[in-house]
Structure 1
């Protein structure tokens, strides 16, 4: 009789312990999901602010018959990478585009694909 009583006590305790462990796992998973969502939202806001303030608008030009034709526009964070970005974005460039931007004095400077700067 005593043996049966101990068994019942052990069997009755198992479902509660199982549920507590299961609830603990659910809480941990929810916490990770919430933290992940907040991190993603924070990075989105921070990167959008950096993009708006630090990006440099660049016009991409392709040399055709000794003259330059506009191929398109891109935004870069480093003006020396303007031509590389243009050539990566626009297939028509085929590695021959230059990237030009206006500085604070409205002078137009361009970069070739080797990263050399020249005034246009």
Structure 2
């Protein structure tokens, strides 16, 4: 079932396709030039928009740069680990030496009793 809005949209699309087709037949270089100029204007507007808003955000761009830097470092570290793991496999004694040098966590963790299974004595409304 077509309503008035759908009929209007289809009519506009049909007229646009008809106009582009006739323009393509009559003046193909003019159509190509018009499309290129439109694409260039849109590209310039997009470039200015991205530049202007990336400076205005401030903290967001520095966070993004920090994230990208950390990602690069992580990739380098994983790459080094994969190359060293393939060429040199540590023995059991070397693994035990590495484990002994680890620091123990100094965090004092305590368990807080919850009230999950206790019933509430509230008045029902």
- The question of a shared fold, defined as TM-score above 0.5 by the shorter chain, is answered with no
Higher relative contact order (CA 8 A, sep 6+): 1
Q: Specify which structure has the higher proportion of strand.
A: 1
Name which one, 1 or 2, has greater alpha-carbon Rg. 2
TM-score, scaled relative to structure 2: 0.30
The structure with the greater share of residues assigned to helix is: 2
